[in-house]
């Protein structure tokens, strides 16, 4: 992997990741950009203990531009197209978000462009390109681990307008939170309680139990297992665990890293086949759960990827209504065992 870092016209960092050592990415950003201004404030809900980022500057962010005005496509100066990516082509690019939810002393937000092809999706990538994205996620996790304001890193992708995506180009994001997220705190509390009661690691037991039961296993390799969780929140939800427990992406060994692209691409392609041929691409959220960097129970946490869709049947979405939004009690219309069976049926 070759890494090339440049600065955009307003001072933000952009990093190109290439599979070729001879790749040259030195095109300057010639846009007349004003410095980025953020208004982020982090507040704590006194009743729930949740942390909320108030970021009013994001109201002006780019919203569903036409394809010929996409800010994530390569720049084409000869056509008057200057974008967030100054190069005329690229493989994978990561840059600081122009409209970040978190910035400065309150963390960092980055955009990850998976391909220069505006009309592609992650599932269209080759295994080599998916491996390069994994390398980029890992490299950014390592860099943000040294950031004084970052306590935890979340690499994720939102796909589809139904999810809330405002840019159609295939991309994801990386959030460097200045705190341990509530979701992770809840998992760590459960893990601590399980260890007190049994002396064992909760994540290890969950993986072992799912592999032994088998009804919810979707696919498995030598180094990874994907399964629908026993109490899945979403209509189709899959968790992908490495067999060797590690706290974050930096600690994956070479065999696990080599096997991941093929398994992950197969999962994404199955998601697009859930609802039958000729259907629109399945909207989804996919994200890496990684251990907080400085948490006392960091070693007990298990890196894993969570992939889910809000589509429950053709033409119908799972909305978070009264029970889910008001009381955080999910009601799932699709039994996890049925979801797993369907995801096995649509194997390549």
CATH number of the structural domain spanning residue 214: 3.30.428.10
Is the pLDDT at 49 greater than 90? The verdict is yes
Given the DSSP bridges, would you call strands 284-289 and 311-313 parallel, antiparallel or unpaired?
Answer: unpaired
Show Cβ contacts of residue 142 under 8 Å, excluding neighbours closer than 6 positions: 250
Q: Which has the closest alpha carbon to 285: 173, 132, 125?
A: 173
Same domain, 144 and 203: no
Residue pair 248/291 in contact (Cβ under 8 Å)? The answer is yes
Q: Are 145 and 153 in contact (CB under 8 A)?
A: yes
Q: Which of 118, 147, 171, 223 is catalytic?
A: 171
Domain stops at, among 125, 150, 179: 179
Least Cα distance to 301 among 184, 208, 209 occurs for 184
State residue 100's pLDDT score: 96
Q: Quick check: pTM over 0.85?
A: yes
Percentage of the chain modeled with pLDDT above 70: 100
Cβ(311)–Cβ(328) below 8 Å: no
Mean pLDDT over 113-137 rounds to 98
Q: Are residues 168 and 198 in the same domain?
A: no
Is residue 70 domain-shared with residue 207, that is, in the same domain? Answer: no
Told to judge if 171 belongs to the known catalytic residues of this protein, a careful annotator would answer yes
Residues 79 and 112 in one domain: yes
Residues 95 and 195 in one domain: no
Which of the four pLDDT bands, split at 50, 70 and 90, describes residue 35? confident
- Asked which of 149, 179, 209 is the last residue of a domain, the reply is 179
pLDDT at 164: 92
**Mean pLDDT value of segment 13-42:** 94
Overall average pLDDT of the 148-157 stretch:
98
* Cβ atoms of 120 and 76 closer than 8 Å: no
Per-residue pLDDT, 36: 85
- 206 in the same domain as 144: no
Distance CA 165, CA 131 (A): 24
Q: What is the mean pLDDT of the chain?
A: 96
Segments forming the whole domain that contains residue 308: 183-345
Same domain, 163 and 204: no
Give the H or E element holding residue 182: helix 182-198
Instruction: Please tell me whether residues 75 and 138 are part of one structural domain.
Output: yes
State the average pLDDT over residues 259-268: 98
Single out the residue in 179, 196, 222 at which a domain terminates: 179
State whether 194 and 145 are in the same domain. Answer: no
212 with 121, same domain: the answer is no
Same domain, 107 and 233: no
Residue 79 has what pLDDT? 73
Confidence of residue 217 (pLDDT cuts 50, 70, 90): very high
Q: What is the pLDDT of residues 235-257, one digit of tens each?
A: 999 999 999 999 999 999 999 99
Position 63 pLDDT exceeds 90: no
In a shared domain, residues 49 and 97? yes
Greatest distance between any 2 Cα atoms in the chain: 66
Question: Of all residues in the chain, what percent are helix, strand and coil, respectively (each to 5)?
Answer: 30, 25, 45
What is the domain count for the chain?
A: 2
> Is residue 77 predicted with pLDDT exceeding 90?
no
Q: Is 172 left (phi over 0), alpha (psi -120 to 50) or beta?
A: beta
Mean pLDDT of 122-131: 98
Helix (H) or strand (E) holding 17: strand 13-18
């Amino acid at each position: 992997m070759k890494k090339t870092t440049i600065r955009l016209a307003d001072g933000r960092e952009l990093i190109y990741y290439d599979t070729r050592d001879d790749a040259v990415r030195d095109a300057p950003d010639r846009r007349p950009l004003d410095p980025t201004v953020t208004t982020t404030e982090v507040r704590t809900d006194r009743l729930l203990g949740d942390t909320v980022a108030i970021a009013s500057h994001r109201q002006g962010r780019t919203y569903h531009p036409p394809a010929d005005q996409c800010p994530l496509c390569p720049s084409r100066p000869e056509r008057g197209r200057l974008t967030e990516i100054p190069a005329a082509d690229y493989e994978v690019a990561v840059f600081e978000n122009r409209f970040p939810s978190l910035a400065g002393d309150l963390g960092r937000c980055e955009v990850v462009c998976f391909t220069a092809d505006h009309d592609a999706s992650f599932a269209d990538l080759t295994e080599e390109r998916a491996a390069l994205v994994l390398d980029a996620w890992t490299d950014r996790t390592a860099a943000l681990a040294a950031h004084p304001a970052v306590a935890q890193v979340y690499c994720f992708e939102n796909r589809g307008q139904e999810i809330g995506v405002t840019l159609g180009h295939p991309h994801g994001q990386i959030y460097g939170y200045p705190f341990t997220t509530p979701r992770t705190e809840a998992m760590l509390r459960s893990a601590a309680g399980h260890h007190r009661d049994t002396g064992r690691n909760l994540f290890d037991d969950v993986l072992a139990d799912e592999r032994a039961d088998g009804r919810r296993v979707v696919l498995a390799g030598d180094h990874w297992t994907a399964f629908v969780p026993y109490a899945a929140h979403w209509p189709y939800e899959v968790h992908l665990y490495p067999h060797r427990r590690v706290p974050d992406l930096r600690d994956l060994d070479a065999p696990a890293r080599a096997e991941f692209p093929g398994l992950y691409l197969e999962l994404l392609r199955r998601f697009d086949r859930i609802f039958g041929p000729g259907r629109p691409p399945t909207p989804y959220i996919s994200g890496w759960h990684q251990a907080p960097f400085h948490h006392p129970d960091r070693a007990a946490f298990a890196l894993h990827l969570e992939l889910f869709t809000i589509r429950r049947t053709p033409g119908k979405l799972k909305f978070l209504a009264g029970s889910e939004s008001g009381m955080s009690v999910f009601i799932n219309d699709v039994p996890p065992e049925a979801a797993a069976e369907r995801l096995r049926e649509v194997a390549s």
